[in-house]
Amino acid sequence: MPRDIVRKKITKNAYRITSKRAETCLRVRVPGGHLDACLLDVVRSIAERFGDGTVHLTTRQGFEIPGIPWERMAEVNKAVRPLLEALEVPLGVTFVDLDGGYPGAGTRNISACIGNRVCPFANYDTTALAGRIEAAVFPHDFHVKIAVTGCPNDCIKAHMQDFGIIGQAMVEQDASRCIGCEACAKNCLKRVTGAISMKNNRAVRDPRRCIGCGECVLVCPTGAWSRDPRKYFRMVILGRTGKKNPRMAATFLEWADEEVVLTVLRNCYAFIDAHIDRSLPKEHLGYIVDRAGWPAFREAVLQGVSLDPPLRVAETLEFSGYFYERDRVFR
């Protein structure tokens, strides 16, 4: 074991401190959580050659390869190259040294539900968007968690992230195809927000209640409802787990296009840089905003964003979380 390890340097290289002093563990990113199956062989080979032969599947859809002796990091970094070339370079991520391993690990893997490559409910290709977000934010040392999900079912738990991106379908109706069967209205009432009502035997959507899930398109037997092929997203922000004040993310933007999403994500780093409490090893964005104030955050991340309709920006954030006020709960 080397005598002197620069902790911050190895962390930035995607290795972590483990409970075994002689060993480290490598974090492998899989942006969007979808990869060519042959890459599993690369992961497997790293685990078997350098690690303890096991692999952990992370909640963020990456791999952690444990049991790597500290002294083998340089070899491992070379072995990681095929992963970088297959999973990062095609997205547009640039590397100073492709044999140097991961250049950052603060901003975590961009996780994604399976998206419309498989799931009928998804309103877009989540893996592809995760890739474009990866290109926009990776590598970065600030600890930011981003996840993208295809629809408000939120299978990826975007609500537990600093930034959660939820696909929205801007549905349009060809009224001449509506036969008044009420399939959409009944479904919306039972499963969603009850945004569709019947007027003169035709389905009418209340845009204020519609969350863009796209289910009306799925259930309409005549194709009267369809999606505007342009993609829109709802962004929920500042959700978190943790030891202080876990909470669900709150809706910040609705009907944002991809450019808005990417701009807000890019902008958040300057805000963090300006306001983070550097006495902590890593302060989560939500706590920074709690301290620095929501208006300051909003102003910072919306810089350069054109606020034209249909984009809607929340005036306030509605969080639902709790503090560990244990005495109140346990008497």
Partner 1 sequence: MRPMPGNAAERGYALSEVSCDALLREFRKDFRIFAPVRLEGRGRFSDTDMVRYGEIRNFREMELREKSLFSPKEVLFPPSETLFHFAETGVREPSLLREDGKGLLVLLRACDIAGVDRLDAIFLGNGPEKDPYYEARRKRVVFALIECGPLGASRSGSFGSCFCVSMGTNRASGYALVLRPEDDGLSLFLEDPAFAAYLPPDAVRTSYAPSFPLEDPFPVRVPDPGDMSRAVREESLFSAAFWKDYDSRCIACGRCNTVCPTCSCFTTYDVTYEENASAGERRRVWAGCHVDRFTDMAGGHRFREKYGARMRFKTMHKIHDFHLRFGRHMCVGCGRCDDACPEYISFAACIDRVSRVVDAAASTGGDDHDAR
Write the single-letter amino acid at 190.
K
CA nearest neighbour of 84 among 60, 96, 68, 101: 101
Report the residue number, 152 or 214, with the smaller CB distance to partner 1: 214
Report the residue number, 55 or 171, with the smaller CB distance to partner 1: 171
Footprint of partner 1 (CB under 8 A) = 116, 120, 122-125, 150, 167, 169, 175-181, 183, 199-201, 214, 217-219, 221-224, 226-229
Give the integer Cα–Cα distance in Å for 148 and 246: 20
Give the integer Cα–Cα distance in Å for 192 and 151: 12
Closest contact distance (angstroms) between CB of 168 and partner 1 is 11
Closest contact distance (angstroms) between CB of 133 and partner 1 is 18
Report the residue number, 175 or 270, with the smaller CB distance to partner 1: 175
Give the integer Cα–Cα distance in Å for 86 and 81: 9
Cβ pair 258, 266 in contact under 8 A: no
Closest contact distance (angstroms) between CB of 127 and partner 1 is 12
Q: Which single residue is written with the structure tokens 């592809």?
A: 128
| Torsion over CA: 93, 97, 102, 104 (sign) | negative
Closest contact distance (angstroms) between CB of 55 and partner 1 is 32
Closest contact distance (angstroms) between CB of 160 and partner 1 is 24
Alpha helix ranges (H) inside the chain: 7-12, 38-49, 73-87, 126-137, 183-191, 215-219, 258-275, 285-292, 294-301, 326-329
Closest contact distance (angstroms) between CB of 132 and partner 1 is 15
Report the residue number, 217 or 260, with the smaller CB distance to partner 1: 217
Report the residue number, 81 or 177, with the smaller CB distance to partner 1: 177
Report the residue number, 125 or 254, with the smaller CB distance to partner 1: 125
